[in-house]
Amino acid sequence: MNDSPELAFDLLTTELLQDPDHDVSATATGLHTHGKLFAYLDRGQLFVDLPTMRAADLIDRGVATATSAARTQPTGVWVRVAEVEDWPELAAEAHQFVGEPAVGMDS
């Protein structure tokens, strides 16, 4: 991507808005799916809401840092990611995770 976090986030947003399900929206607070925030940019880092086990793995490997600075009630664990190269993969994971219906709620 690019050295500028803002430009990288703009490119990421454009990519996610092209999701074939058309369930991603971008607002001033960040990226949403089905009305739920799943990713946002703050102080040059990407914040994403991920499943607890995935977040723990990323934190253990030094890819992400734990945070309590989430803007909404998380469905998993919010982490922040500094490396722009990791943003597309992790934002896509957060989109899928947050956008999934709760178990047992789809029937």
Name the 3-class secondary structure at 98: helix
Instruction: Dump pLDDT digits (tens) for 2-41.
Output: 569 999 999 999 999 998 888 999 999 999 998 999 999 9
Rounded Cα–Cα distance for residues 91 and 47 (Å): 9
Q: How many C-beta neighbours within 10 Å does residue 48 have?
A: 33
Q: What is the average pLDDT value for the chain, to the nearest integer?
A: 87
User: What is the pTM (predicted TM-score) of this model?
Assistant: 0.86
Nearest to 37 by CA among 73, 8, 84: 73
pLDDT tens digit string along 44-95?
999 999 999 999 999 999 999 988 755 555 578 999 999 999 999 999 999 9
